[in-house]
Amino acid sequence: MTAEIAVIGAGLCGNLLAILLARQGLKVTVFDRGPPPDAPEPAAGRSINLALAARGIRALEQAGVFTDIEPLLLPMAGRIVHEPGGDVRFLPYGQRRNERIWSVSRSALNRCLWEIARDRFAVDYRFTHDCIHFDAASLTATLRSDDGELAVRAGLLLAADGAGSTIRRSLEQGGRLSASEELLDHGYKELLIPADAAGEFALDPGGLHIWPRGGFMLIALPNLDRSFTATLFLAHRGQAGFESVTTDQVIGFFRDNFNDALPLLPQLQQEFAARPTGTLGTVHCEPWGHRPEPDDGRRALLIGDAAHAIVPFHGQGMNAAFEDCAEFDRLIATQGPDWNAVVPQFEAVRRDNTRAIARMALENYAEMRDTVRDPAFERRAELAFELERLFPGRFIPRYSMVMFHPEIGYAEAERRGHIQAGILAEALAAGEPAAALRLAAQLVATRLPA
């Protein structure tokens, strides 16, 4: 079949893209290998809830669907850190009004976007169509369904088929694209903290719970049904790793390391045995845009995780993918549906930004599992907040730039973050708080543009 626009992948990125493109009057067909999102169980091996932050919200607002999504969100105002001894500390994400991130169920969000695309914008969906190959020369996707194989050509084919993108791998095998998939030596496993006997949240639902333990960590995000999804991040190998912690040992491992979480995980052993261990990694590839031979004006474009999957430790994977969608929409609004112009411009705008968030997401893993335990982390965070009060819009903690300031691109956030880290380090070396603040203020005035 020939489509005006074909989107491969009815995940978060594909569905938001479909809405945005349909809003611009374009005809969109979306293909996905899975069943429709109203099937009872979320796909295994993918994270169950996610953190939505300002970049994602901004893209949803651009699509005019944020008010539809809002009822699915649970606010998290900071990190709730569980010490090994059982002490609990609250570290706010930001100090300004409404600086929160939002826990959201991947499946509920995805279903909502799909329903809007289908019902409000008449997007055509073809489920249980598995993309098994992509021919680089003809830009033709081969999709397998119960009806056999379908060859799909489109004026624009958008590969929103995720970190394990078949389209990316086909292009790589065809020598059209160079890619790196850097797997983290840590994996993850998801566990359920059900609501308590009274039907209430078993933990404070107002934050993201972390049990940082240096080499590994447990986290938990609240769900609308008053459960939490906990995620254990552990090395694949080594002593405190998935290869060593067997199903028999997991209770003891939790008792030793996450003792206060143990009573909240009634199915720990069963879940640990039954749930797959997820892998985490960073995907880089180039180029994202592809033209057929001979060039007939059609284009293919990798987008979202398919183009630049990242590790989850900054909670920005979905947000970055939604920002991709918003940027693509903006380029079409400006250029019209001129794929020859829009596709390379998209790549030019997004490449540095997605590279930057890939690096920052990796750095944040160390911060989450380790640094938040360090008293120096709190001193640095306090000085950073004080500088933000004094120099609003000029000194903004890097975490805040990434999470709460979508007007600052990822690359710019990383660049300013480096300057700020230098200021904080130099100032804190000056000793007592008043001296540190005075020096820091002088350094801000010198090094950060007004």
Smallest distance, a second copy to C-beta of residue 97, A: 7
Nearer to a second copy, 22 or 368 (CB): 22
Q: Within 10 A of 325 (CB to CB), how many other CB atoms are there?
A: 28
- Which tokens go with 379? 């001193």
Residues between 182 and 221 with contacts to a second copy, criterion CB under 8 A: none
Residue 252 or 336: the one with the smaller Cβ distance to a second copy is 336
406 binds a second copy (CB under 8 A): yes
Q: With respect to a second copy, which residue has the nearer C-beta, 392 or 422?
A: 392
Angle CA 191–197–198, to nearest 5: 120
Residue 206: which of 226, 219, 222, 228 has the closest Cα? 222
* Ramachandran class of 223: left when φ > 0, alpha when ψ lies in -120 to 50, beta otherwise: beta
* Residue 415 binding a second copy, by CB under 8 A: no
C-alpha to C-alpha distances, 275 to 40, 42, 215, 219, 272, nearest whole angstrom: 17, 13, 22, 16, 6
Here the tokens at position 118 are: 């289908």
Residue type for position 84: P
CB nearer a second copy, residue 63 or residue 177: 63
DSSP 413-426: HHHHHHHHHHHHHH
Q: How far is the CB of 319 from a second copy (least distance, A)?
A: 14
What character string, x for contact with a second copy (CB under 8 A) and - otherwise, covers 249-268?
--------------------
Q: Is 27 in the site for a second copy (CB under 8 A)?
A: no
- Of 68 and 370, which CB lies nearer to a second copy in the complex structure? 68
Q: How far is the CB of 326 from a second copy (least distance, A)?
A: 8
At 335, which amino acid appears? Q
Cβ closer to a second copy: 28 or 57? 57
Distance, CA of 245 to CA of 268 (rounded, Å)? 13
Q: Which residue has tokens 């007007």?
A: 407
Beta carbon nearer to a second copy, 58 or 359 = 58
Q: Is 120 in the site for a second copy (CB under 8 A)?
A: no
Does residue 62 interact with a second copy by CB under 8 A? yes
Q: Which is nearer to a second copy, 108 or 332 (CB)?
A: 332
Residue with Cβ nearer a second copy (283 or 343): 343
Report the amino acid identity of residue 180: S
Please spell the DSSP secondary structure of 120-159, one letter per residue.
Answer: HH--EEE-S-EEEEEETTTTEEEEEETTEEEEEEEEEEEE
Is there binding between residue 71 and a second copy (CB under 8 A)? no
Beta-bridged to residue 229, according to DSSP, are 192, 221
97 binds a second copy (CB under 8 A): yes
Smallest separation (angstroms) from a second copy to the CB of 393: 3
User: Are 277 and 187 contacting, i.e. CB atoms less than 8 angstroms apart?
Assistant: yes
By beta-carbon proximity to a second copy, the closer residue of 43 and 441 is 441
Structural tokens at position 142: 């081969």
Among 150, 437, 447, 448, binds a second copy (CB under 8 A): 437
Q: Is 72 helix (H, G, I), strand (E, B) or coil?
A: helix
Kindly state the smallest distance separating residue 413's Cβ from a second copy, in Å.
13
Q: Minimal distance in Å, beta carbon 333 to a second copy?
A: 4
Q: Using CA atoms of 364, 367, 370, 375 in order, give the dihedral in degrees to the nearest 10.
A: 180
What are the distances in angstroms from CA 385 to CA 233, 373, 389, 395, 407? 29, 18, 6, 9, 19
Residue numbers 308-347 binding a second copy by CB under 8 A? 329-330, 333-334, 336
Q: Does 26 bind a second copy (CB under 8 A)?
A: no
Nearest to 311, CA basis, from 232, 372, 364: 364
Q: Cβ closer to a second copy: 99 or 305?
A: 99
Stretch that binds a second copy, among 57-65, 128-136, 254-262, 275-283 (CB under 8 A): 57-65
Does residue 418 touch a second copy according to CB under 8 A?
no
For helices 12-23 and 317-335, angle between their N-to-C axes, nearest 10 degrees: 20
By the rule CB under 8 A, 431 interacts with a second copy: no
| Residue 95 makes contact with a second copy by CB under 8 A | yes
Q: Shortest distance, CB of residue 335 to a second copy, whole angstroms? A: 8
For residue 286, the Cα-to-chain-centroid distance in whole angstroms is 20
Chain centroid to CA 242:
23
Per-residue interface string for the shown chain with a second copy, residues 370-389, x marking contact by CB under 8 A: -------------------x
Q: Name the site residues for a second copy (rule: CB under 8 A).
A: 25, 57-58, 61-62, 64, 66, 95-98, 329-330, 333-334, 336, 389-393, 406-407, 434, 437-438, 441-442, 444-445
